[in-house]
Amino acid sequence: MILEREQINRYLRHIIMPEISGSGQRKLLESTVFICGESVQAAAPAIYYLASSGIGQINCCFELPEGFDKLAASIRDLNSDVSISLADGKAGELRIFLGGPEFICRQSDKITTDFVPAIIAFYNGWQGAIGVYQEQAAARSLLATLAAGQPPVAACSNDKLQRGIFAFCFAGALCAMEVVKLALTIGQTPDGLLTFNLWSMEFSKIAQQDSARMAAALSALLSEDFPEISLEGGKALIVGAGGLGSPVAYALAAAGIGTIGVVDYDTVEISNLNRQILHTASRIGMPKVKSAAIFLEELNPRLVVNSYNTGLTKENVYDILAGYHVVIVAVDNFPARFLLNDACFFAGKPMIDAGVMRFDGTAMTITTPVGHCYRCTLPEIPSGGTTPSCSETGVLGSLPGIMGFIQAAEAAKLLSGQGQLLNKRLIYFDGLYSSFSTLTLIKSENCALCGTNPTICGLQDYDFVCADDAD
C-alpha cells in the first residue's frame, strides 16, 4: 500500500485523479516548500491550502511574524501529516514569495540568490499578479520591471491588509495550486504573469517577453486605487460549509462582515480535510455548521454566526433566506442549486454560484430580474447519473479555494454596492493551464422562470435536495 489507510481517506479526492493518484500524493507528502510572506495574515490562506493538499514540510518566514504560533497550531490540527515551522533560511525545493509589490522588491536577494523555482505573487487592493519562475533570469526581469514602477517603500499595515484581503486570499490559493502542479510536473504554469482584478473580475496572461505590456500592466497594478468598503452591516447566507463554503466564509469573516449564516446538515469527515479549511481533525464527527462557527468566531470575535444544521427544502428555504442580503451557493448538486435559484428569484435576493470538478471551476452572480437566472443557462435539472460529481472524479484541494474567494469578492461588492459584478458573465477557470476565460450570459426570453411568459410560478418538487458540499 503506497499510503496509510488514514491518508488514503484524507486525500481520497486527490487519489482518484489520475494526475495525482497514490504515488503523486506520496510525492506531495515528501515535498518541502519555503513561503516568505509579508505577514502571517496575508500568507495564511496559501499555508492552509498547502497543508490541506498534503505538502509535507512548510518552512515559513515573515516580516510580521505575529500570530504564527496560533496559525501553526491550526495547521497541525488540520493535517497531522504536515510539519510547519519558522525558518531563517530558504530551505525548500520550491519557494513562494507573497506580499505587496514593495515587499516583493525587498525580497530580491532572497529570490535570486541560490535560485530555485519560485512562485512570486503580489497584490495591491483588489488586484494582483502571480508568476512561476523556473529560471533566475526571468525572475530578475520581473523584479527589475516591478522596481522600475517605483512602488512606495512602505511597511505592511493593518489598513493595507484589510484592503487587500480578497486579493491575498485569492493569490494564496493560486500559489498552492501552482505548487502542486510543479511538484507533480503536471499541466502548465503561467508563462510570464497572470494578473487579476477582483474589482472588475478581469484576468489576463502576459508573456515574459512582452516587456512593454508587462511594464504597462505592472504600472496599472501599482497605481490603481480602490475605495474603502465596509461590510459591518452585511448579512450573507452561505449554503454549504465545505470546499466552497470554507473560503467564502473565511474571506468574508476576515473582511469584517457583520453576520454569516451557514447551512449544512453534514458532519466533518476526514475526507473533507484536503479542501475544507474551516474544519480540523479534532472536530471530525462534529456538525459542519458548529465546526465552521468555532473557526469563524475565533477569526473574527465580533462576527455573528447563525447555524442551520439542516438540509434545504421548499418548506424551509424562505424562512432561512429571510433577513440575508445575499445568498452564496456552495453546494455540489443540481437540485439544491435549482431550489435556491427559484427561491432567490421569488424572494428578490441576489445569488452567487460556483462549481468545481477536478482542476476546473466556474463562478457567476445572479441578480434577477436585472440579469439571467440559473435556469437561463440550464433550463432543467440534469437527470441522475448524467453529470458526475467531484466525489466521483475528484477535485484538487486548492481549486474550491480559488473559486470560493471569487464568490466572497462578489458578495463583498454586492453588499457594498461597488465594483463590477459577474451578473452578466461567467468565469471559467482551467487550473491545469492557469487560464481564466469569461463567457457572456444572456437572459433567456424563453426561460420558464424569468422569461417573457413564465410557467414556473412557485417552488417545485426538487428531488435529493440537500446542503451537501462534496466539492
Q: Are the beta carbons of 305 and 262 closer than 8 angstroms?
A: yes
The C-alpha cell 459577474 sits at: 422
Among the options 105, 169, 344, 390, which is catalytic?
Answer: 390
CB atoms within 10 A of CB 89: 10
Integer Cα distance of 193 and 204 in angstroms: 8
| Assigned C-alpha cell, 248 | 467564502
β-pair partners for 127 = 124, 197
β-pair partners for 124 = 127
Q: Are the beta carbons of 459 and 339 closer than 8 angstroms?
A: yes
- Sorted by sequence, the CB contacts under 8 Å of residue 135 that are 6+ apart come out as none
| Assigned C-alpha cell, 76 | 497541525
- Sorted by sequence, the CB contacts under 8 Å of residue 188 that are 6+ apart come out as 181, 432, 433, 434
Active site residue 61: no
Q: Are the beta carbons of 403 and 429 closer than 8 angstroms?
A: yes
Integer Cα distance of 182 and 27 in angstroms: 11
β-pair type (57-64, 32-39) = parallel
Please name which of 104, 103, 132, 128 lies closest in space to residue 118, comparing C-alpha atoms. Answer: 132
The C-alpha cell 474571506 sits at: 251
Q: Are the beta carbons of 256 and 162 closer than 8 angstroms?
A: yes
Please give the helix or strand (H or E) that residue 254 lies within, else none. Answer: helix 245-254
Integer Cα distance of 260 and 249 in angstroms: 7
Q: Is the dihedral of CA 284, 289, 292, 294 positive or negative?
A: negative
Give the up-direction half-sphere exposure of residue 102: CA atoms within 13 A in the CB hemisphere.
12
- Sorted by sequence, the CB contacts under 8 Å of residue 380 that are 6+ apart come out as none
Q: Are the beta carbons of 336 and 466 closer than 8 angstroms?
A: yes
- Sorted by sequence, the CB contacts under 8 Å of residue 146 that are 6+ apart come out as 101, 104, 105, 122, 218
> CA dihedral defined by 198, 199, 201, 203, rounded to 10 degrees?
-60
Name the DSSP letter for residue 382: P
Q: Which active-site residues does the annotation give?
A: 390
